[in-house]
Chains A and B, each alone.
Chain A
């Protein structure tokens, strides 16, 4: 059986986090931006489970349930806003959403 070390998990989680972060910053489509946000949360979750396993403390595993719940609530509200906005403006491109200017 191949077992990965803690560093492997942390490297993967860091990579996922950075991909998600730049996805949020650079992509123009709101839905892709949302995917980036989810990727960042999943990266944290992965690191949390890895730490929990290697440190032998169970509260990391329990925290994951809270994070999943919070992420679900966040996405539910976020997608509702995107749908309502699409009905008004017929676009979900970030650079076309610029009605708020002084």
Chain B
């Protein structure tokens, strides 16, 4: 390869397109430097630096909607900048800010290294933002692994707690297994698409556009279909879809509460962005992907809801209910194959899920006692009397997760159901409605524990420290946002109907 070719490649590296990710990386490194440089008494301000950094990057990210590199490629096709990708970047930045805020409640309570937590959260967020825009299997794999390895560290962050470490080990084994399966699928697709004896073979077989062109020219190749199934299985592990959901309850319970929130919202959203991108790439194999995803969606919905029914630990409950939410999102992915509304419905659902989940996790971080893995439903007894504000936020969050009418979660489910109905998957729709009915039961069990007195004298709940003003404001905003998004969908709604 001569010098001019290399220069042409280098000129295509448009660094400005990944400005927010670069800034996040700089803030993350600056945190580590500041910890060394600053005197000990100023260390308490470092989470504030992380939070401020994320909030400062957010406007520059929103600006990128108008800068005009939407619908273009950069880095020689490694990244593709779509409108959805920009929306998801905002989503991940919001997630990072909220996780940092939860960190100031839960992580600050423990005697562990503080700064590295925020450092890892920021790095993982940057990787998620790149993942949402990846258009090449190397980019996808490296970004996904950065997210996964970051989560290994975060899940086992409470090094003194055997439960956190055990959850970390389980996540490492399951995460590495899924990565290996995903990788083998990628390798098979790469090998088949580059095979010189097949029609429309390509020299850039890992690029999604080239791969999609190859797949539509060979719509029934055996090795390619094995590769597609393996790739989908690898992604299904990350989103916690049936039958790859076995790690979810244990890991969600053992992980520190902010990390559980990050897993539930950030990791799941990243998985679904990847799934939507891949579903578009594998469009020619819809005869294969559609049945696989349909069965997976139905099984995930039923399993998640039925398993959540019997849980007493709220972290396990929220994990298994998260499995059922993955089922609803899969419904959107399935219908997106034929109805474009499905795409918008998935993104809207993710935003509604973000608001409601962080409202609930914010309350969990406050109610949870010194042992982070041990958060029982009985600990919520008398919450409404002692901390009415927290109980109200909890009720709004759980109501939205259950899909109670005026709230955002209801609109999210409605969009998904409309898309499913238009796509003609009536069987799936019936399963989803059964799922909603079951989920109302266990979500209201939780609300009842917080609002109504219990006959049995409850085991002593951990003391509930007063809520500081900043957290009050944020929790109030999350609850208000959940209510507001239910009535008025704003630009998101316009985007949905415009598609």
**Contact surface of A with B, Cβ cutoff 8 Å:** 10, 17, 20-21, 24, 30, 33-34, 37, 40-41, 43-44, 47-48, 50-51, 55-57, 59-60, 62-63, 66-67, 70, 73-74, 77-78, 81-82, 84-85, 88-89, 97, 99-100, 102
Which single member of B145, B163, B253 contacts A73 (CB below 8 Å)? B145
Closest CB of chain A to B246's CB: distance in Å? Answer: 11
Closest CB of chain B to A60's CB: distance in Å? Answer: 6
* Across the A-B interface, the 8 shortest Cβ-Cβ residue pairs: A51-B191, A55-B194, A40-B180, A88-B162, A85-B165, A70-B145, A100-B250, A44-B183
A10 to B188, CA, bound (A): 10
Is B115 in the interface zone, CB < 8 Å from A?
no
Closest CB of chain A to B170's CB: distance in Å? Answer: 8
- The digit string for B245-283, where 1 denotes a CB below 8 A from any CB of A, is 000011001100000000000000000000000000000
Q: Is the CB of B138 within 8 A of A66?
A: yes
Q: Is the CB of A40 within 8 A of B195?
A: no
Q: Is the CB of A57 within 8 A of B172?
A: no
Q: Is the CB of B163 within 8 A of A99?
A: yes
Using known A-B contacts A40-B184, A70-B145, A88-B162, determine if residue A24 contacts B177 with beta carbons closer than 8 Å: yes
Residues of A with C-beta under 8 A to B194: 51, 55-57, 60
Secondary structure type dominating chain B contacts: helix
Give the segment of B148-156, B382-390, B429-437 that binds chain A: B148-156
Closest CB of chain A to B87's CB: distance in Å? Answer: 28
- The digit string for B109-148, where 1 denotes a CB below 8 A from any CB of A, is 0000000000000000000000000000110011001001
Residues of B with C-beta under 8 A to A77: 149, 152-153, 172
With an 8 Å Cβ cutoff, the count of chain B residues facing the other chain is 52
Using known A-B contacts A30-B169, A81-B165, A85-B166, determine if residue A55 contacts B191 with beta carbons closer than 8 Å: yes
Which of A30, A41, A44, A62: most chain B CB closer than 10 A?
A44
Given contacts A51-B191, A55-B191, A84-B159, 14 further A-B contacts (CB under 8 A): A17-B184, A41-B183, A44-B183, A48-B191, A50-B191, A51-B190, A55-B194, A57-B203, A57-B205, A67-B183, A74-B172, A100-B166, A102-B312, A102-B316
Q: Is the CB of A48 within 8 A of B190?
A: yes
Using known A-B contacts A78-B176, A102-B313, determine if residue A63 contacts B184 with beta carbons closer than 8 Å: no
Q: Count contacts between A and B, CB distance < 8 Å.
A: 137
Using known A-B contacts A77-B152, A81-B152, determine if residue A47 contacts B166 with beta carbons closer than 8 Å: no
Residues of A with C-beta under 8 A to B181: 40
Using known A-B contacts A70-B141, A102-B312, determine if residue A33 contacts B183 with beta carbons closer than 8 Å: no
Q: Is the CB of A48 within 8 A of B187?
A: yes
Which single member of B141, B170, B205, B254 contacts A66 (CB below 8 Å)? B141
Which single member of B138, B173, B206, B254 contacts A33 (CB below 8 Å)? B173
Residues of B with C-beta under 8 A to A10: 191
Q: Is the CB of A73 within 8 A of B196?
A: no
Closest CB of chain B to A62's CB: distance in Å? Answer: 8
